[in-house]
Amino acid sequence: MRPIFHSPYFLYKKPLKNSSIPMWYARFWDESAGRYTVTRSTGILAEGKRERHSEADAVAKQILEGLAIETETGQMLFLDFLLDFWREDSAYATERALVYKQPLSREYIKTARGQIKLHFAPYPKLRGMTLEKVTPAFIRDWMIWGAAKGMSGKGINTIFEAMRVAVRWAYMREEIPKNPFGQIKKAYHKSKERGVLTAKEAARVMQLGTDDANHALAVQLAMFCGMRCGEVRGLLWGDIDFEECVINIEHNYVLLDGMKAPKAGSNRRVPLPEAVKAMLEYIRSVSMWTDSDDFVFCQPDARKTARGQHFFRYSVEVVLRDIGIPVEDQKKRNLVFHSLRHTFVTLGRLSGLSDMVIMNLAGHKTSAMMERYSHAGQVIDFAEAKKRLESIANQDSVSASER
């Protein structure tokens, strides 16, 4: 029997909602599925004497050439596709850096790739699975398998997001005909609220002496200037204007990447409180290296190398212990270095600063982000609130009796 020949595509007209003239569409043959599956619009209206059929056919041939690339990508093993996607020199990483000017950090790429290799590669059903064969059922089954293995909701969601970003990118490039992640919800995960310091605890930090000057300064810069850990690590002496009492936040030192611009383009100027200025001046007076391009926090034996992250994590532990918060309580309250920025936003709002000012000082782009950093419930002085509310009630009762 002679094999049945299938045309690689056929054209058909489809009515448009807001036009009396239909549009030419093309449907393409999928050899692996044994049927016509992929449909694409040619963008050509079926108008005129010959309805522009030849123009629509020419566009369909161009689409067919693109689908050859689509088929090649879709037939990649899913694991190979993910590992290839999460590389520093991948097409996606290159596009983010060159086209959108939003380069991915090397740490972010390394984490995504590492989590996929560690927690997704061992999945038994992954063997032989190609990108084009991934279905919502396959993803849901992996989530169930991961949860049964003891993975947390946060861990599952980390890998889920790494896969979702990669597959969506291929779908948007029309390298695969469908996006199986479209209707799947992430795993349940209730994140623990970030702890913040009270106003009284913050005041104790402001009053610290110079016994542990470097640790105290690291904490003060985050808590009273709203600086991220990477911004504190990347702080240069030339960024500080001692006369105007401001810090120009222009650098962000990131693991693996080194010196970069602040996150999300949040270059800004922040006021320098007198106590923090005094601590900076003391450290400058005893430091070996204070040129404008020297790090405020440099390695003791390496002038042009910023302190490691461990130093800043330890700074929080030491300083909070010094002001009377034991390590056990720090863990219970979830107090870490990033808590200091949360404290900055929270106390800033309680002090009466406008949201616009706080957003600018903290480098937040949206009010929603600022709301995430505000934890007024943890720092309210309920005795003072009770006193003030009672005074208002007493004034109302006195007014009523006078009437």
Q: Where are the beta strands (DSSP E) in 278-398?
A: 298-299, 302-306
Q: Is 266 helix (H, G, I), strand (E, B) or coil?
A: coil
Q: Is 171 helix (H, G, I), strand (E, B) or coil?
A: helix
The answer regarding whether domain 199-379 maps to CATH 1.10.443.10 reads: yes
Whole-number Å distance between alpha carbons of 175 and 161: 19
Handedness of CA 311, 204, 232, 286 (dihedral sign): negative
281-295, 322-336, 350-364: the lowest-pLDDT one:
350-364
Q: State the average pLDDT over residues 282-306.
A: 91
Chain length of the chain? 403
Query: Residue 199 has which token pair?
Result: 């106003």
Query: Residue 208 has which token pair?
Result: 């610290």
Which contiguous run of DSSP H or E holds residue 259? Answer: strand 258-260
Q: Is the pLDDT of residue 256 over 90?
A: no
Residue 1: pLDDT band by 50, 70, 90 thresholds? Answer: very low
Q: State the average pLDDT over residues 312-320.
A: 94
Bridge partners, 38 (sequence order)? 28
Q: Is the pLDDT of residue 70 over 70?
A: no
How many other β-carbons are positioned within 10 Å of the β-carbon of residue 162?
22
Whole-number Å distance between alpha carbons of 300 and 281: 18
Instruction: Round the average pLDDT of the chain to a whole number and report it.
Output: 86
Locate the domains of the chain by residue range.
9-74, 78-172, 199-379
Whole-number Å distance between alpha carbons of 102 and 45: 38
User: CA angle at residue 264 from 260 to 268, to 5 degrees?
Assistant: 80
